[in-house]
Structure 1
């Protein structure tokens, strides 16, 4: 007799091809509409399911995990980030956690360069003028921005995405600098002619553009705090596509409003979808709705990784993308 299929609960709508494949392989419960599950719905799910497939919009904390039933043995996260999941508590309960690393690298790096260009070349201002009908024709001094060639880009976190950003920036003629907990191997640095800074303070003070590409951990919370933000040059630009908590958003808002830096491009926010209202309508700020990974190809690949993680677990093996304590 065939073994009983795993009970899988998915907390958000996923690409149709992913949902179809999940249905073929498992006893899956899908969402009817593209809205987050309530906490009560997730609690009910973890009481009955073998596998939970959450997304970054779900908070899987210790109190929720404590209510999980005996059947729950895998949290197969749809996404690379896992700071919304209490991995340590899950481990103590014997529940494995997996994620989908590497899928969004190129897509996120594209958005980083898009934000850099949008801020430095004042693209939203130009777009606004065209949409409002205020443009009266070309003028030598209108919408003057700055070229990227020759600018110093400081990458905070030179992992997969940081390296992908560096490759793109080099193609624009930018000078690559980075700060990491550990220096990269010389042959890796040579690929993008990167300069390592052991001191984040010293790097921040000398860069034209800062790109935040590190994960959110206890050690990176408010890594760009008020003191460090004040080290930036008046002509500097800050771009964040990683996690909002890495920047003290209130401090960033203050220096932007005061004109102490040239601008910012943000795709993530400290309070999730609760955007600081004072960031809106700033002419030197470009805001995106967390769309760094928003490509059809990327979202399908994320789903494929989720399926592989669950299928491998169902076959009695550890998921290939298991999150382990050393990653925290």
Structure 2
């Protein structure tokens, strides 16, 4: 008899090619619309599926995992970040968790540089003037930004994405500094011409640009808190393409309002889609709708990794991108 196909539930709309391949390989239930599942829908999916394919908009916490059915054996996350999944609770229930690391490294690093340039060169202000038809012509003192070449860039989190940002920033003539849980190997530091700071406080106080590229974990929540933001120079800017929870957003607003930080470029927010209204009103703040990984190529590769993880599991092997609590 042919082997029974795995029951797979996908919580959001994925690229058509990914959904088609999932349908060819598994007994898959896809979404008709792109609205996030409700809590009740997620619980129902966890009760009936062998494999759940969530995204960062789905909260897979201990309460949901305890209500999962006996069939659920794999949570194959569509995305690299897994702070929305209680990996430890899943492990206790015998449920494996996988993700899609490395796929969006270059895309997110590109967007980080776009935000650095957007803030320092005042690009949104120029766009707004042109879109309103208010441009009166070139003037020697109009829309003066700052040159990025020669500026000190402090990277908070020197993993794949942080290193990719460093490579791009070097090409722009920036000086690379970083803080990380572990110091990089000497040959990587030499390649990136990067200066390591054991003390985050000391690094932040000396940087012209701070780039947040670390994951959100209990130890990184509000890592850039009011005290550390106060250490930043008045002419410094901060950009974040990682997770909004790493920055105390209210404290950031206060520093920006007081003119104690020159600007900010944000692709992620502390409270998801509930962006602090004050940020929308500041001309020195560039806001994007979590676009860091939004490339066609990246989203297709994420889907391919999800499929490989599920297929490998279905074949009786450990998923290549399995996440365990020790990795967090």
CA distance in 2 between partners of 1:124 and 1:184 (Å): 35
Q: CA deviation at 1:181?
A: 1.3
Equivalent residue number for residue 235 of structure 2:
235
After superposition, residues 86-97 of structure 1 pair within 5 angstroms as: 86-97=86-97
CA distance in 2 between partners of 1:198 and 1:215 (Å): 18
CA distance in 1 between partners of 2:93 and 2:218 (Å): 22
Equivalent residue number for residue 84 of structure 2:
84
CA distance in 2 between partners of 1:112 and 1:133 (Å): 29
Q: CA deviation at 1:325?
A: 1.6
TM-score (structure 2 length as normaliser): 0.99
CA distance in 1 between partners of 2:26 and 2:181 (Å): 41
Equivalent residue number for residue 288 of structure 2:
288
CA distance in 2 between partners of 1:289 and 1:257 (Å): 22
CA distance in 2 between partners of 1:57 and 1:80 (Å): 13
After superposition, residues 105-124 of structure 1 pair within 5 angstroms as: 105-124=105-124
What's the CA shift string for 1:261-289, capped at 9, x where partnerless?
10000000000111111111200000000
After superposition, residues 160-239 of structure 1 pair within 5 angstroms as: 160-239=160-239
Equivalent residue number for residue 54 of structure 1:
54
Equivalent residue number for residue 27 of structure 2:
27
CA distance in 2 between partners of 1:240 and 1:322 (Å): 26
Equivalent residue number for residue 136 of structure 1:
136
CA distance in 1 between partners of 2:145 and 2:8 (Å): 51
CA distance in 1 between partners of 2:194 and 2:165 (Å): 12
Q: Aligned with 1:176: secondary structure?
A: strand
Equivalent residue number for residue 319 of structure 1:
319
Q: CA deviation at 1:51?
A: 0.3
What's the CA shift string for 1:53-73, capped at 9, x where partnerless?
000000001111111000000
Which runs of no fewer than 5 residues in structure 2 stay unpaired?
none
Q: CA deviation at 1:191?
A: 1.0
Equivalent residue number for residue 14 of structure 2:
14
Runs of 4+ in 1 over 3 A off after TM superposition: none
Q: CA deviation at 1:34?
A: 1.1
CA distance in 1 between partners of 2:190 and 2:35 (Å): 45
Equivalent residue number for residue 153 of structure 1:
153
CA distance in 2 between partners of 1:182 and 1:308 (Å): 30
Q: CA deviation at 1:74?
A: 0.3
Aligned pair 1:298/2:298, yes or no? yes
Q: CA deviation at 1:236?
A: 0.3
CA distance in 2 between partners of 1:320 and 1:190 (Å): 30
TM-score (structure 1 length as normaliser): 0.99
The root-mean-square deviation of aligned C-alpha atoms, in Å, is 0.5
CA distance in 1 between partners of 2:183 and 2:52 (Å): 37
Equivalent residue number for residue 257 of structure 1:
257
CA distance in 1 between partners of 2:296 and 2:251 (Å): 35
Q: CA deviation at 1:89?
A: 0.5
Q: CA deviation at 1:2?
A: 1.1
Q: Which moved more, 1:33-42 or 1:297-306?
A: 33-42
Equivalent residue number for residue 67 of structure 2:
67
Aligned pair 1:2/2:2, yes or no? yes
